[in-house]
Amino acid sequence: MERKTAYRFLLLLVLILTVFYTLGLVGVIPFEVSYYITIFMIILFVLLRWDHHRGKGRE
């Protein structure tokens, strides 16, 4: 998969997860959903930054 396509997919995924995160904070869905989304977003951020600093992101 091309890098640009992968980033577009990740953007769509993050936007959808943000909606579920907000619903969890409001109380529409269980708060545990927001908790796990937060953990996923932190891991995703670290992995993307690690990939960039390894040199793959600098083209």
Mapped onto helix, strand or coil, the DSSP state of residue 34 is helix
- C-alpha to C-alpha distance for 2 and 42, rounded to whole angstroms: 23
Residues 6+ apart with CB under 8 A from 27: none
* pLDDT, greater one: 53 or 44: 44
Q: What percent of the chain has pLDDT over 70?
A: 90
pLDDT at 59: 53
The widest CA-to-CA distance across the chain, in whole angstroms, is 43
pTM of the model: 0.73
